[in-house]
Amino acid sequence: MTTHLPTADDQDPDSSARTSRLREALLAAAFTADGLLDLLGAPAYAALARSETVPALRATRGDGPLETLVRLFLLQRPVPEARVRAALPVADCLADGWLVRDGDRLRATVDVRPYGGPEGQDWWIVSDLGCAVGGAGGIRGAGEGDRAQLVLGVGGASTTLAGITARRPVAKALDLGTGSGIQALHAAQHATRVTATDLNPRALRIAALTLALSGARPADLREGSLFEPVGEETFDLIVSNPPFVISPVRPEGARLTYRDGGMGGDDLCRTLVQQAAAHLNDGGYCQLLANWEHVAGEEWQDRLRSWVPRGCDAWIVQREVQDITQYAELWLRDAGDHRTGEDAYAARYDAWLDEFEARKTKAVGFGWITLRKSGAQDPSLTVEEWPHPVEQPLGDAVLRHFDRQDYLRATDDAALLAGHFRLADEVVQEQVGLPGAEDPEHVVLRQNRGMRRATKVDTVGAGFAGVCDGSLPAGRILDAIAQLVGEDPVLLRDRTPSAIRMLIEQGFLEPVS
């Protein structure tokens, strides 16, 4: 069952002091991401992420402060008051509602999960009981009537979005659909002012707790759907992990606010993308996670290009595709519908497939969408599928991607051949062929950083990339290669710019000023 939430009033000096003392106690007990790993060990720590609590219970049989805090806030077990007093300022926690009495024991009212910031900060993400990834049992711990307003903690989607977000100093940032407040917490490190919105008022209260407990500046918290709470305001950065799940539309609206947008198909994500441009300052970025339909008779890439608003560059990456049966089963299990009985489960499964059939949806894609308000007449629209491993964080790689698009848009072939380039860091060359063959069948350039791309190149492309150290213009390098391979240098200059552009666009080569 959901519970009353603690308070952390930044306008009340007494409340702020109590929150500071609680934070100091968590640090003193090493209730941090590193401290948890040290206490539990990697297997038990990983088991928590699968909602398996037995290994963590075994690891916390001691009576030290850290064991006490893990049992209280992550395993959600009542703990004898005497043990809690050795770990926390109990009077403060009772006064602000972090703890309540349960006979002669104390129990937590919310899940508090240690989280490591990008520069080694010790933060804590607050969520509803049983709703943090790595908590004690997932959302099945909540009553059916309370699920609609549940606030989840840190999950894979949250950390993915935090990792791909472009981190640069900005004046104003918007976290749309803040949930537990993790994106607002990240944004507070590089934005002068952070606005956070959510349709769920409970989420706004929990986001305020996350920020206060982590020692971050408070955000401007506003209730409402999509861009309604901000009117006509504009921002330098918009981030959103929206309720993107494509689920059957219900007359009563969204069933689970944290995941179901209440619109048909992928209309919520499309609407968010299309409205974003009106709320971005020039040069501003909007970054979000999304699901999109693969519709019979349509190319999914063309469908997504049609979402991009005028005056914006876009980089859209599809990371995964599921057929409609896999997709329905995933989210039915997420909601616990597989435990409602065979007939009820079958009826809900049927409703999902009916919805997909009516919309001619064959599969669902998941990925990242980044918009940049460039005002360009010929915007750069990159829509690609990349299901392979990447190196997070990717925020700097996102900024470099759009810098490269600007360069390519402004550089004709003559200027390209006059330009100087260097091979990006940690690019290696692989030669593939039969053992003992005199020449390789093909040559592959592979990145070991960022998107970790790989691309085939011919002999000229491999030779060109290998020589690029910024000292010679591209044209002179090609002339030297033409002499080595016995090719007409004019013809080589004519046919090579497209290959150079590809290597620049994918980040293998970097222009040198």
* N-term to C-term CA, the chain: 60
Mean pLDDT, residues 166-189: 98
Q: Among 97-101, 231-235, 302-306, 347-351, which stretch is predicted with the lowest mean pLDDT?
A: 347-351
Whether the pTM exceeds 0.85: the reply is: yes
Type and span of the H or E element at 87 = none
State the residue for tokens 């222009």: 511
Mean pLDDT, residues 145-166: 88
Please tell me the distance from the alpha carbon of residue 116 to that of residue 31, in angstroms, as a whole number: 11
Chain-centroid distance, C-alpha 123: 17
Please tell me the distance from the alpha carbon of residue 228 to that of residue 213, in angstroms, as a whole number: 28
- pLDDT score, position 136: 47
| pLDDT tens profile 370-411 | 999 999 999 999 999 999 999 999 999 999 999 999 999 999
**What's phi and psi for 96, nearest 5 deg?**
-95, -5
Alpha helices in 60-194 (DSSP H): 65-69, 81-85, 90-96, 156-164, 182-187
Please tell me the distance from the alpha carbon of residue 417 to that of residue 494, in angstroms, as a whole number: 10
Mean pLDDT, residues 208-228: 97
- pLDDT score, position 437: 77
- Tokens matching residue 177: 């659909």
Let me know: does 186 contact 162? Beta carbons within 8 Å. yes
What rounded mean pLDDT belongs to the chain?
A: 93
Which DSSP state fits 367? E
Buried b (16+ CB within 10 A) or exposed e, 272-284: bbeebbebbeeeb
Long-range contacts of 223-232 (CB under 8 A, 24+ apart): 223/197, 223/198, 223/199, 224/197, 224/199, 225/199, 226/176, 226/268, 226/271, 226/272, 226/275, 227/176, 227/275, 227/278, 227/279, 229/197, 230/174, 230/195, 230/197, 230/279, 232/278, 232/279
pLDDT of residue 140 exceeding 60, the answer is no
List of residues 6+ apart from 492 with CB closer than 8 A: 460, 478, 479, 481, 482
- Of the pLDDT bands very low, low, confident and very high (cuts 50, 70, 90), residue 133 is low
Which DSSP state fits 137? S
Identity of residue 6: P
Adjacent-strand bridge partners of 370 = 287, 315
| pLDDT tens profile 403-444 | 999 999 999 999 999 999 999 999 999 988 888 777 778 899
Adjacent-strand bridge partners of 314 = 371, 381
Q: How many CA atoms lie within 13 A of 502 on its CB side?
A: 15
Distances (CA, A) of 256 to 3, 145, 155, 350: 17, 11, 16, 18
- Of the pLDDT bands very low, low, confident and very high (cuts 50, 70, 90), residue 254 is low
Distances (CA, A) of 395 to 74, 162, 285, 391: 30, 8, 11, 11
Give percent of the chain with pLDDT exceeding 70: 95
Count the residues in the chain: 513
Give percent of the chain with pLDDT exceeding 90: 84
Identity of residue 245: V
Mean pLDDT, residues 244-264: 77
Please tell me the distance from the alpha carbon of residue 426 to that of residue 307, in angstroms, as a whole number: 35
Please tell me the distance from the alpha carbon of residue 269 to that of residue 240, in angstroms, as a whole number: 10
Please tell me the distance from the alpha carbon of residue 148 to that of residue 161, in angstroms, as a whole number: 23
Can you tell me whether residue 450 is helix, strand or coil? coil
Please tell me the distance from the alpha carbon of residue 15 to that of residue 38, in angstroms, as a whole number: 32
Long-range contacts of 13-16 (CB under 8 A, 24+ apart): 15/96, 16/212
pLDDT of residue 2 exceeding 70, the answer is no
pLDDT of residue 29 exceeding 60, the answer is yes
Antiparallel, parallel or unpaired: β 280-295 and 361-373: antiparallel
| pLDDT tens profile 432-479 | 888 877 777 889 999 999 999 999 999 999 999 999 999 999 999 999
135 versus 419: the higher-pLDDT residue is: 419
- Of the pLDDT bands very low, low, confident and very high (cuts 50, 70, 90), residue 252 is low
- pLDDT score, position 483: 96
pLDDT of residue 135 exceeding 80, the answer is no
